[in-house]
Amino acid sequence: MQSELMSQPYSMRLWAWLGPQLGPLLLAALLLLGVALPLAHALLPADHPWFISAYTLTLAGKILCYAVVALALDLVWGYTGLLSLGHGLFFALGGYGMGMYLMRQGDAELPAFMTFLDWQTLPWFWWGSEHFLWALVLIVMVPALVAGIFGWLAFRSRIKGVYFSIITQALTFAAMLLFFRNETGFGGNNGFTDFKTLLGFGIAEPATRAVLFLLSLALLVLAWLGARWLVNSPFGRILTAVRDAESRLMFCGYSPLYFKLTIWVLSAVLCALAGALYVPQVGIINPSEMSPANSIEMVIWVALGGRGTLIGPMLGAGLVNGAKSWFTVAFPEYWLFFLGFVFIAATLFLPHGVVGWWRRLWRKSA
């Protein structure tokens, strides 16, 4: 057996070894990037050939945040069978929470957009947002509450399948319309921008950018490890049981409501944390983050990467967003066509996503 393996060409042996190592490979790549990118950005002079520009670093940080979203969405869709077409809402709520804090960092008493609206006092829901810790509480608790209340109502009424998806879509759309209004108190369609400092550090400084990038990476790796533990626990098996045979689960004596609610809220909070790290990196948050199209794009990341796996959604978020950043520069008007094509192709030819395809390839050769 051993000698047979040794006599195979080197490439075959490499493949046989690499095939099942998709997870460790991705982790290694992430950690390598995590060291190299921020160092190359913060320490190298701007004319150095290996210098990483602020644009590239921000793009990479953004993609890491998106990967967290994809992971969170996969926990509810891939593992629990609840297709959410409104996860952009939770991402945006986390972003707005961080944005509120960032908007309060100047010397002025009120954020600029409120002065333009001729408001004299701060609305009550802005109270305390100048404190970072309170902002963190908002970032976690507001999406958790929204998800909790929505989930409780939807799951208790046993809304499932396509009906559930449509309602999530409606929810994010309604929230977008609400946030578009100036009177709502979140800057209307301009949202928040023009951030200056974060915890006293200049938001555009290389070191700040490097740290934000590293925090995004840390969030992704922690979310990944946490999700791994979760899906392999008895809790995770019950999630797949909800997905595959919910009525069987009920007649086994489990109440699916609480299992769905737990993973739904957890997923929303993960998205919110990703949104909170995303906003200081890209420097803007506005209601278009809540547009249904954004949430649908998130679903495409998961579908392309491979739902029901943990590596897949992260890869999918990277592939789609990597392609997007290239496409929107090279052929800006064709991006949406391309995205649609990717979704159709993934549905038709890669039912288990890139990861499923990789595994099949490896199994065939093995």
Partner 1 sequence: MTLFSPKTAVVEREGWDGEAKGLAHLVDGQLDTRHGAILYLEEVCVSFDGFKALNHLNLDIGVGELRCIIGPNGAGKTTMMDVITGKTRPDSGAVFFGQTIDLTRYREAEIAQLGIGRKFQKPTVFEAMTVFENLQLALAGPRSVWASLRARLTGEQRDRIEALLLRVRLQEQRHRVAGLLSHGQKQWLEIGMLLAQDPRLLLLDEPVAGMTDAETEKTAELLLSLKGHHSLMVVEHDMAFVEAIAERVTVLAEGSVLAEGSLAQVQADERVIEVYLGR
Asked if 241 is part of the footprint of partner 1 (rule: CB under 8 A), the reply reads yes
Binding residues for partner 1, total number by CB under 8 A: 23
- For partner 1, give the closer residue by CB, 235 or 331: 235
Site mask, partner 1, residues 252-271, x = CB under 8 A?
xxxxx-xx--x---------
Q: Rounding to the nearest 10 degrees, give the CA dihedral for residues 109, 193, 86, 232.
A: -90
Q: Does 235 bind partner 1 (CB under 8 A)?
A: yes
Task: Compute, in degrees rounded to 10, the torsion defined by CA atoms 194, 69, 94, 187.
Answer: 50
Q: Is 178 in the site for partner 1 (CB under 8 A)?
A: no
Identify which of residues 21 and 233 has a Cβ nearer to partner 1 in the complex. Answer: 233
Segment lying near partner 1 (by CB under 8 A), choices 2-10, 61-69, 107-115, 241-249: 241-249
What is the closest distance, in whole angstroms, from the C-beta atom of residue 261 to partner 1 in the complex?
8
Q: Is 49 in the site for partner 1 (CB under 8 A)?
A: no
- The beta-carbon contacts of 54-57 under 8 Å, at least 24 apart in sequence, are 54/204, 54/206, 54/209, 57/209, 57/210, 57/213
- DSSP letters along 279-337, please? HHHHTEE-GGGGSHHHHHHHHHHHHHH-TTSSHHHHHHHHHHHHHHHHHHHHSGGGHHH
State the minimum distance, in angstroms, from the CB of residue 240 to partner 1: 5
Minimal distance in Å, beta carbon 168 to partner 1? 22
**Smallest distance, Å, CB 230 to partner 1?**
8
Q: What is the 3-state secondary structure (H, E, C) of 147-214?
A: HHHHHHHHHHCCCCHHHHHHHHHHHHHHHHHHHHCHHHCCCHHHCEECCCEECCEECCCHHHHHHHHH
Q: Distance between CA atoms of 72 and 53, rounded to whole angstroms?
A: 29
Buried b (16+ CB within 10 A) or exposed e, 26-60: beeebeeebeebbebbbeeeeeeeeebeeeebbbb
Contact 263, 79 (CB under 8 A): yes
Q: Which is nearer to partner 1, 51 or 235 (CB)?
A: 235
Between 225 and 245, CB nearer to partner 1: 245
Q: Which stretch binds partner 1 (CB under 8 A): 31-39, 244-252, 268-276, 278-286?
A: 244-252
What track of x and - describes contact with partner 1 for positions 132 through 171 (by CB under 8 A)? ----------------------------------------
| Residue 363 binds to partner 1 (criterion: CB under 8 A) | no
Task: Choose between 246 and 289: whose C-beta lies nearer to partner 1.
Answer: 246
Please say whether the dihedral angle defined by the alpha carbons of residues 269, 271, 273 and 279, taken in this order, is positive or negative.
negative
Residues numbered 14 to 43 that lie near partner 1 (CB under 8 A) are none
Q: Of the two residues 109 and 244, which places its CB atom closer to partner 1 in the complex?
A: 244
Q: Kindly tell me which residue out of 45, 200, 234, 332 binds partner 1, with binding defined by CB under 8 A.
A: 234
Q: What is the binding site for partner 1 (CB under 8 A)?
A: 233-235, 237-238, 240-241, 243-245, 247-256, 258-259, 262
